[in-house]
Structure 1
Amino acid sequence: MSTSQTKYPKFLDADFEKDISGRITPRDGPIVLRNPHIDDLAEDVLYHLDLSDKKNDLPAMFGDVKFVCFGGSPKRMEKFAHFMVKELNINIQAGMTLSNISHGSDRYVLYKVGPVLSVSHGMGIPSMSIVFHEVLKLLYHACCKDVKLFRLGTSGGLGLEPGTVVITDAAVDGLLRPYMEVATLGMLLQHPAFLDRDLCEELQAIGSADTSYNTVIGKTMCTYDFYEGQARLDGAFCDFTVEDKLAFLKRIHDRGVLNIEMESLCFAAMAHRAAVKSAIICCTIVDRLQSDQISASHEMLEDWQGRCQQIVAKYIRRHLNIQ
């Protein structure tokens, strides 16, 4: 039987279950692709991951994957992979080491720790989009099923104590629209950016067990740049006043936005489109209503970033029945 015959079928819009509002319902089961052209390829090269469905035995390498954790920094995701080795009680034999599977590419890193993938996504929507496409295809070619996706990161908070963990229930763009616009064939297509509420609430319950910091659920605003798009006063260009900035940030905060970053819209829109259960969990490292500059020490930032990792690790351990 050929490789393409063993893969799960692709689905069209009509095959996805939707709620009364038209949202695609996230589900367990096999990873599917909404692209009828993939199986017509003689070889599907995942260029930015340095993998291929012909060069590599993807089902043997990745078929047991149940959790994919994305984060911006390659170093952070390498550290997260080593952290998960300990959390999952995995014994790396003498002479062996945890290695970057995508070492042939300098774009992203990819580590596998048992059923967990740790992947860097870079900064911003374009970088996130590329790696999300290729990771989803990787999971499809590997015949994975019942997969959960997580984005772990940092963000600017609004009216929150730095160190607060925000779990996103919906991502919005800089105009507070809950969808990502993609220019396709000369048209602007709008892809809704919603996440799995049940998964959000379970993560919040896990985080709230630690009373040394707050874990909250709310909207995340995703911008296309770090400075002007986020109403910062400290970029190379700025055409607005302090009063303009504060009025804008207070307005979006009043409309439910708790934090601001640069990848959530893409992650949520693509996960929703793929009907994969997913969550975004970010720690705030500054209250943007008070300052644009990050003043916390390196040690404090490391501690704050670790909160998201610990929450997701506890979720994974719980679902793998690891005490």
Structure 2
Amino acid sequence: MQCNCDHLLDSSKDHYNNCSAVWDERKIGYPCPKNHDGTLRLRNPHLRHLERDFIYHLGLDTSADMSAMFGDVKFVCMGGTKHRMREFALHVRQALGLPATDTGKLENLTKHAQRYAMYKVGPVISVSHGIGIPSMSILLQEMFKLLHYARAQDPVFFRIGTSGGLGVPPGSVIVSSWGLNGTLEKSYNIPVLGKVRKLPSFFDERLCREVQSVATNEGYTTYIGGTMAADDFYRGQARLDGPFCDHTEADKMSFLRTLSELGVKNIEMEATAFSAYTREAGVRAADVCVTLLDRLQGDQVTSSKATMVEWENRPIALVGSFIANCCKRRGLVNGRQ
């Protein structure tokens, strides 16, 4: 099959993992889910029978002109809080040199649904996903549907956030190469019709390298490595400071060292599902998180508020720079919001 890679920053001959030329070689078992023009081809025949598809948690439906609203989207950036994603939208607007609205404010396009907050700045969507896999995966799947109906071409997804580091200095940025679940499998395990399905949780290697290449001379270190996605903040991450704990500090340290030996650089709560679903959709994606502490040194975040704000801005700045460089290279910015 002919290659359908659209080069972002790296002009090498290496293919992206989800390129149609590579897809068949990986023997996924079904055709590449992206059409040759880069639009998403969803593997759900039941959608064709819907006269009108209500994308419930985004407060949108297909009676609207999705192509006019979102057809130019090239980048989707997701993060936990509404505040963080509004700040990212403002940052991207400035990085792309786009004019502000008359009031200087951004419109939350999902305000009627009252679940998430979504902003659009030029070819970029910035949207909050809440905390944990259930909330994130609902948003992610509805974003796939939205961009499918909009016929957006070759969208690239990012997740930005915070995490606990493993053996790296606080304030480091981790670009995830794969996700590890709570039972130490590189998969997202989801029960469907009473049976557990295991979806491989790997990110695109080339996109990881491209993102890391942007982080030069920033005063902090950016690592590529594995990410554990826990289903819980306390016991699920081997903490000792939750309301319940039935393991010892020796148990905790043994587990964390095992993770480190496996190549895990940080722990958060979304990476397995994010990598698995974007991979299944044939969408390139990267998970970019800053570490707020080294879990080998303790469980609680004790840095000052000012320090944490500066650290939390690092993924925003890094992904924003990546997007700005791509838009400049590809001539995507046309001066309108």
TM-score by length of structure 2 reads: 0.87
Q: Is the 8 A contact 2:230 2:267 kept in 1?
A: yes
Equivalent position SS for 1:152: strand
Residue 41 of structure 2 is matched in structure 1 by 32
Match for residue 183 of structure 1 among 187, 191, 194: 191
* Structure 1 position 94, deviation (Å): 2.4
Match for residue 196 of structure 1 among 190, 201, 204: 204
* Structure 1 position 174, deviation (Å): 1.0
Equivalent position SS for 1:237: coil
Matches within 5 A, 1:254-273: 254-273=261-280
Q: Aligned pair in 2 of structure 1 residues 317, 15: CA closer, same or farther (>3 Å)?
A: closer
Q: Aligned pair in 2 of structure 1 residues 217, 82: CA closer, same or farther (>3 Å)?
A: same
Q: Does 1:113 align with 2:121?
A: yes
TM-score by length of structure 1 reads: 0.91
Q: Aligned pair in 2 of structure 1 residues 93, 237: CA closer, same or farther (>3 Å)?
A: closer
* Structure 1 position 97, deviation (Å): 3.4
Cα deviation code 1:113-147 (max 9, x no counterpart): 00000010100110011101111100001000111
Paired residues in the alignment total: 308
- Provide the rounded CA distance (Å) in 1 between the counterparts of 2:93 and 2:47: 34
Residue 220 of structure 2 is matched in structure 1 by 213
Q: Is the 8 A contact 1:125 1:224 kept in 2?
A: yes
- Provide the rounded CA distance (Å) in 1 between the counterparts of 2:83 and 2:268: 19
* Structure 1 position 23, deviation (Å): 9.7
Q: Is the 8 A contact 1:81 1:118 kept in 2?
A: yes
Q: Is the 8 A contact 1:206 1:314 kept in 2?
A: yes
Q: Aligned pair in 2 of structure 1 residues 26, 86: CA closer, same or farther (>3 Å)?
A: farther
Q: Is the 8 A contact 1:166 1:217 kept in 2?
A: yes
Q: Aligned pair in 2 of structure 1 residues 240, 16: CA closer, same or farther (>3 Å)?
A: same
Q: Aligned pair in 2 of structure 1 residues 159, 26: CA closer, same or farther (>3 Å)?
A: farther
* Structure 1 position 309, deviation (Å): 1.1
Residue 161 of structure 1 is matched in structure 2 by 169
Percent identical: 43
Q: Report the AA paired with residue 197 of structure 1.
A: E
- Provide the rounded CA distance (Å) in 2 between the counterparts of 1:198 and 1:97: 35
Residue 42 of structure 1 is matched in structure 2 by 51
Equivalent position SS for 2:275: helix
Q: Does 1:139 align with 2:147?
A: yes
Gapped regions of structure 2 (runs ≥ 5): 1-19, 332-337
Residue 3 of structure 1 is matched in structure 2 by none
Q: Is the 8 A contact 2:68 2:150 kept in 1?
A: yes
* Structure 1 position 31, deviation (Å): 1.6
Q: Is the 8 A contact 1:16 1:275 kept in 2?
A: no
Q: Aligned pair in 2 of structure 1 residues 132, 15: CA closer, same or farther (>3 Å)?
A: farther
- Provide the rounded CA distance (Å) in 1 between the counterparts of 2:123 and 2:268: 28
Gapped regions of structure 1 (runs ≥ 5): 1-13
Matches within 5 A, 1:1-323: 17-20=23-26, 29-54=38-63, 56-95=64-103, 97-207=105-215, 209-321=216-328
Q: Aligned pair in 2 of structure 1 residues 23, 271: CA closer, same or farther (>3 Å)?
A: farther
- Provide the rounded CA distance (Å) in 1 between the counterparts of 2:237 and 2:220: 25
Q: Aligned pair in 2 of structure 1 residues 71, 210: CA closer, same or farther (>3 Å)?
A: same
Cα deviation code 1:237-266 (max 9, x no counterpart): 000111110011011101101100001111
* Structure 1 position 318, deviation (Å): 1.2
How large is the RMSD of aligned CA atoms in angstroms? 2.1
Q: Is the 8 A contact 1:174 1:222 kept in 2?
A: yes
- Provide the rounded CA distance (Å) in 1 between the counterparts of 2:212 and 2:266: 16
